[in-house]
Amino acid sequence: MPRHSQILDSAAGPLPAPADWQSHEPVALLRNVLRLTAPNPGFMTGPGTNSYLVGDAHTGFIAIDPGPADTDHVARLWAAARYPDGSGGNLALIVCTHSHADHSPGAAPLQALCALAGTSVPILGLASAPTARANSHFVPDASLAHGQRLVLSRASGQDSHTLQAIHTPGHAANHVCLLLEEDGMLFSGDHILNGSTTVIDPPDGHMGDYLDSLDLLHQTCSAHGAHFILPAHGHPLPDALGAIAHLKAHRLGREAKIATVMHANPDGTPDQWLPLAYDDVNPRLWPVAKRSLMAHVEHIQWLQSGGGAP
């Protein structure tokens, strides 16, 4: 059982209307986890990008996904990471789950704020792959290894906070999730969202890797008793194992539908397959859905060539 207090931001209810989201004040999820949502709501970002602060005034904080390079948001993150005297900037590390434009650009200005205050704070993550889009270029100060643990602890050695890095390619080649071991909570970045399924956009996105990463997250959450998922967009998800299993079933169901459409229309094009395979999705979403369709098509063709089970 997690040894910290129960989650405060209820994960049992539905995703609230956008008006219920605010970007000015941090929201306490646990006594050692704060969420600050960037003011970038939109078609692809939902209520906005969730930046998280893990730690406390005595251990310092790790910032997860500083978000876009929004001056006010970055300043609020810096101020929310408080020292025991209430002053801001008590940051030990900055971690980016991946290099997309709504996640990593805020890292450098947040680091610069720390430097102005006389603190050297490294940026961790995985460098963007050559397959990444131009606006997703990212090079951390240090790379995270799969399984690496980032530990914050008091001078006494008690009351530590441990984040375990889990390399989860699929949405992006350099995507990393983070497991807060003491509390049984998974920071899922964009690999798992609340309110929608994430886009898999080849070539940096890869459906086979995405499905394999879901299996890895299921195994990891099971092994560590993780019960909640904290996504980069939307409220926390309860029943981590159930949420992951449901998401994989949804993905495989969509893939089976696409395969059926392709079989019935072997000479068709992706633009012709799209309205048939996504006839249950609002047509305004089809341009985005086409990216995931292409990822599914690649995976289907790989399986048909003898690649084996996903």
pLDDT confidence band for 10 (50 / 70 / 90): very low
Coil/strand/helix, residue 139:
coil
pLDDT confidence band for 157 (50 / 70 / 90): low
Q: Could you tell me how far CA 159 lies from the centroid of its own chain?
A: 26
Q: For residue 191, tell me if it sits in a domain.
A: yes
pLDDT confidence band for 308 (50 / 70 / 90): low
H or E stretch at 30: strand 27-30
Q: For residue 272, tell me if it sits in a domain.
A: no
In this prediction, residue 310 carries a pLDDT of 42
Q: For residue 160, tell me if it sits in a domain.
A: yes
- Beta strand 185-189 with 142-143 is unpaired
**Angle made by CA atoms 71, 150, 106, in degrees to the nearest 5:** 15
In this prediction, residue 31 carries a pLDDT of 87
Q: What is the pLDDT of residues 114-155, one digit of tens each?
A: 999 999 999 999 999 999 998 899 999 999 999 999 999 887
pLDDT confidence band for 305 (50 / 70 / 90): confident
Tokens of 81: 């990471």
Per-residue pLDDT for 206 more than 90? Answer: yes
Q: For residue 202, tell me if it sits in a domain.
A: yes
Q: For residue 192, tell me if it sits in a domain.
A: yes
Q: What is the pLDDT of residues 45-102, one digit of tens each?
A: 889 999 999 999 999 999 999 999 999 999 999 999 999 999 999 999 999 999 999 9
Domain of residue 119: give its range.
Answer: 18-240
Find the CATH number of the domain harbouring 107: 3.60.15.10
pLDDT confidence band for 15 (50 / 70 / 90): very low
Q: For residue 250, tell me if it sits in a domain.
A: no
Q: Cβ-count burial of 147 within 10 angstroms (0-12 exposed, 13-18 middle, 19+ buried)? A: exposed
Choose between 209 and 20: higher pLDDT: 209
Q: For residue 62, tell me if it sits in a domain.
A: yes
203 upstream amide cis, omega within 30 of 0:
yes
In this prediction, residue 14 carries a pLDDT of 38
Question: What is the total count of domains within the chain?
Answer: 1
Query: Could you count the other beta carbons within 10 Å of the beta carbon of residue 61?
Result: 28
Q: For residue 289, tell me if it sits in a domain.
A: no
